[in-house]
Structure 1
Amino acid sequence: MSIAYAFVFARGNSKGLPGKNIKLLGGKPLLAHSIEVARQVAQIKKVFVSTDSPAIAAVAREYGAEVIDRPDELATDHAPEWLAWQHAIRHVQALGEQFDLFVSLPATSPLRSAEDVQQCIDGADADADVVVTVTEAARSPYFNMLVRDEQGISSVVCSGTTFHRRQDAPKVYDMTTVAYVARPQFILGNDKLFAGTVRSVVVPRKRAVDIDDIYDFKMAELFLMEKGSNNAER
């Protein structure tokens, strides 16, 4: 069985929702939800949090994760997270740690389940370089997603197609931040996610909320309350 290590990448200078990574959701810091789900997956042997923030680091340690100090140049708004992934892998390998699968569990998707993560791990076979999660898209580039010019003249993204009914068009999906799984050597040897073969796992929209601003946060609170009510009724 492959040994997986989980990584949570949490910067301290969030702009859309300041302090979001340690903002309380359901009585726990947002970051804690990712750590706790990782600890529920048997194949995940260790959990690391990569951060530039002492406050986030303190919360990570409180909930049982090991901390990787992220360099300032990898914690800016413009720094690709892929570089932070590479830094984290090299840091862990320098400690003498060996693992088969890298699992990124962004703090911004607190409603994922352990089963979602396990599905992604199971999908990381010899035919896939990366496993991502997706949810069915509400809009379609064939019908109601538009591009527009400076004068506001608009056209459908996938114009010139022969599809007249949405049901006949290819089903499209939104990529989510529920989980990313890859082999460490793939990440170290490439410069982007889609440099290899990418497999996707479909998750329900209610477990795929990605918190970027206060509106997303409020939606996550509602779904978490609903989940708590359902569990209480059983």
Structure 2
Amino acid sequence: MKILGIIPARGGSKGVPGKNVRQFDGKPLLAYAVEAARESSKISKLVVNTEDKEISEVAKNLKCEVIHRNHEMAADNSPVIDAVLQTLNFLKENNNEEYDAVLLLQPTAPLRTGSDIDAAVKLLKSNPEKDAVISMAKVEDHHPARMYSIKEESLICQMPEYETRNRQELPELYIRNGCIYLVRTSVLKKEKTLIPPKKLAYIMESKWSVNVDTEMDAILLNELLKKWKKQKR
């Protein structure tokens, strides 16, 4: 199975300015996605897709191929699928390269390893009837049974049958942790989504789930990295 690894890294973040090149424990955030990809034995090619000159320079310093996207595809509300499809089209038109599956590695969810990637690939290869593998983490404190909407000033529980249950009685639920999106290329092009209907979960430990979207997330990541690196040794 030929797998294309894509790291989508746009500039212009408002929540955490310059986050993809910001230093975390002595490395730019982008480097953690690159390192995980290189630890994997399953990725055929790795590219960084960006519109930002500084990110491009950091990627090149990390010895990564860079595919440039235009600024219209790098707005706050730009779907990442557009960057993925652009990358596939670029490689087909310019290098005549085609891949069986695409692995999206968001730099903002950095706590993954090459072993995680290899396990996700193995899961997809072992299940030819499925179209994707998405990394998940078990929902812990923020369970939907504890969530409410407000309608006409009234609180409405999202899972009323479990509203008063103890934590131990709540059903196990999972949330996307942003680390791995692995999708068959044919399905990705047809459905134009990284989350097709026929998908499998690759479960990861929830204690390492962090997405750097706010300054508080950046603080949390710096603390988690110290423990995460000890575990990796």
Indicate whether the TM-score tops 0.5.
Answer: yes
Aligned residues with identical type, % of pairs: 27
Equivalent pairs, count: 229
TM-score by length of 2: 0.90
* Distance in 2, Cα, partners of 1:127 & 1:48: 28
Query: TM-score, normalization: structure 1?
Result: 0.90
Q: Following superposition of structure 1 onto structure 2, how do residues 1-234 of structure 1 map, counting pairs within 5 Å?
A: 2-94=1-93, 95-124=95-124, 125-138=127-140, 139-141=142-144, 143-151=145-153, 153-159=154-160, 164=165, 166-229=167-230
- State the one-letter code of the partner of 1:24: Q
Residue-by-residue CA offset, 1:108-166 (whole Å, 9 max, x unaligned): 1122111111121112131221111111112222x211111252x11111335799555
Q: Secondary structure at the match of 1:38?
A: helix
CA distance in 2, matches of 1:206, 1:160: 27
* Structure 1: stretches of 5+ with no match in the other structure: none
Aligned partners of 1:24 and 1:8: how far apart in 2? 17
Amino acid across the alignment from 1:82: I
Query: Which residue identity does 1:195 align to in structure 2?
Result: P
State the distance in 2 between where 1:220 and 1:132 align.
Answer: 21
Name the CA distance, whole Å, in 1 between partners of 2:79 and 2:159.
28
Give me the whole-angstrom Cα distance separating, in 2, the residues matched to 1:164 and 1:117.
36
Partner of 1:22: helix, strand, or coil? coil
Which consecutive residues of structure 2, in runs of 5 or more, have no partner in the other structure? none
Per the alignment, do residues 150 and 27 of structure 1 end up closer, same or farther by CA in structure 2, a change over 3 Å counting?
farther
| Per-residue deviation, residues 175-205 of structure 1 (Å, max 9, x unmatched) | 1111110111111111333433111111012
With over 3 angstroms needed to count, the CA separation of the structure-2 counterparts of 1:107 and 1:119, relative to structure 1, is: same
Distance 1:61 1:150, change over 3 A: farther
Partners of 2:112 and 2:159 in 1: CA distance: 32
Give the drift of 1:8: 0.4
Judged with a 3 Å threshold, the aligned counterparts in structure 2 of structure 1 residues 24 and 129 are, in CA distance, closer, same or farther, namely same
Instruction: Letter of the 1:171 partner, please give it.
Output: E
Indicate conservation of the 8 Å contact 1:46/1:65, yes or no: no
Superimposed CA distance per residue, residues 52-82 of structure 1 (whole angstroms, 9 cap, x where no aligned partner): 1011011111112111111222111111111
